[in-house]
Structure 1
C-alpha cells in the first residue's frame, strides 16, 4: 500500500488550515463603515486561497472559517462570530466568499499561469461574485433598496481593487519562489514536431 495518498491528504489538510488561518488573521485588519459591513483584509485571504488552492480545496478553507464563526469563535472581522453573522448585513458577503473562491480557482485552472489571469480571477471571483451575492442580501437584511445598497457598496471598491492588486503581486511572487505550492494548471498541449 502506497503512503503517497495519506501524505497528499495531510498536505491538503495543512493547506486548508493555513489558508483558513490567513483569512482569520487578515480579519483583524478592519476599517469600519456605516451600514454594518466593514472593509476588511479578509477578502484578500479569500482571493489568495482561490488563486493558490484551486476550485476544489479553496472552498474548504473558506467553509472552515465560516464553520468556526458559526460555532461562536470570533474569527470574522472585528472579532465577530456566532450564528447571528449569518443573518446580518454581511451574511451574503460571507456566502459570496465560497462562490468567489470557486470562480477564482476555475479561472486560474483554465490556462497557463499569468499575472493578468490572477488579476482577472481575483477581480471577477473576489469582487464581482462576492458583490453579486452580498449586495442583494445586505439590501434584504437592512431593508434598503437594492439600487441604493449597490451604490453605497461603491465605497468598498477602491479597497477591493487594492486587494486584487495585492493578491496578484503575492501570488506571482509565490509562483516564482515556490511553484510546487500550486496545483497543476491545465495548459494547452504542445504541438508535436513532425
Structure 2
C-alpha cells in the first residue's frame, strides 16, 4: 500500500508540474483578454493517465499553491489573479480533469474500446473536446461576463471563438497520444487505482 501511495503522490506532483509548465506557455494576440495556453492539454493528460481523484488533485494543488501567492499561472499568482477575469476557467480545470478521467475510465472498461483504433481515436477526441475544453467554458464565460461586465456575445467573441481551433488541435494531440499509449495508460491507471480500492476495503 505504501508503494502505491508514493506512486500516486509522484503522479500528482508530475502532472501538477506539467500543468504549471503549460500554463507558462502563453500567447496573447490583439486585444484578447484571455491568453492562449496549453493548460487544457495538461488537463487532458492529467485525466488520461490518472484516476479521477488524482487527476482532480494534480490541478487543484496548483490552484491552492497559487492562492498563497506563488506565481504559477504565467508568472502570476495570488487570490486577486485567481478571481480575475480568467478565474472561471482556472477553477473549472480540476473538475475538467476529473471528468476526463471518469470518461476515459468508462471508455477503457467498455467493450467498444477493444480492437478498433479509429473508433478509439474518435472516442478519445470527443471525450477531450467535451470535458477538457468545452466544459471549462461553462464557468469561464459567465465569470468573464461578470468580472468585465461583458455581454454574452462580447464574452464569446473574446473568450470562446478565438480558441475553437486551438482546443480542437489539443484534443487531437491528446487523442493521438491516447491511442498510441493505451497499454501504458491502462497500466498506470490500474496501478494507482489499486490504492483507492485497498483504502476503501480497509475503511469498510
TM-score (ref. length: structure 2): 0.81
- Cross-structure match for 1:59: 56
Q: Report the CA distance between 1:179 and its aligned residue.
A: 4.2
Greater shift in the superposed pair: 94-103 or 31-40: 31-40
Task: Point out where structure 1 has 5 or more consecutive residues left out of the alignment.
Answer: 186-194
Rounded Cα–Cα distance in structure 2 between residues aligned with 1:183 and 1:82: 36
Which of 94, 119, 122 is 1:116 aligned to?
A: 122
- Cross-structure match for 2:155: 149
Equivalences, count: 180
- Cross-structure match for 2:78: 82
The structure whose RCO (Cα within 8 Å, separation 6+) is larger is 2
Rounded Cα–Cα distance in structure 1 between residues aligned with 2:10 and 2:129: 26
Rounded Cα–Cα distance in structure 2 between residues aligned with 1:8 and 1:108: 21
Greater shift in the superposed pair: 58-67 or 98-107: 98-107
Assess if the C-alpha contact under 8 Å between 2:44 and 2:97 holds in 1.
yes
Q: Report the CA distance between 1:40 and its aligned residue.
A: 0.3
SS in 2 for 1:18: helix
Rounded Cα–Cα distance in structure 2 between residues aligned with 1:74 and 1:174: 32
Q: Report the CA distance between 1:178 and its aligned residue.
A: 6.1
Rounded Cα–Cα distance in structure 2 between residues aligned with 1:80 and 1:171: 31
Rounded Cα–Cα distance in structure 2 between residues aligned with 1:48 and 1:177: 13
Task: Point out where structure 2 has 5 or more consecutive residues left out of the alignment.
Answer: 114-119, 194-204
Runs (4+) of structure 1 exceeding 4 A deviation are 176-179
| Structure with the bigger percentage of helix | 2
Rounded Cα–Cα distance in structure 2 between residues aligned with 1:183 and 1:115: 21
Assess if the C-alpha contact under 8 Å between 1:23 and 1:42 holds in 2.
yes
TM-score (ref. length: structure 1): 0.85
Q: Are the structure 2 counterparts of residues 14 and 56 from structure 1 closer, same or farther at C-alpha, using a change threshold of 3 Å?
A: same
Rounded Cα–Cα distance in structure 1 between residues aligned with 2:54 and 2:95: 12
The answer to whether 1:104 aligns with 2:104 is no
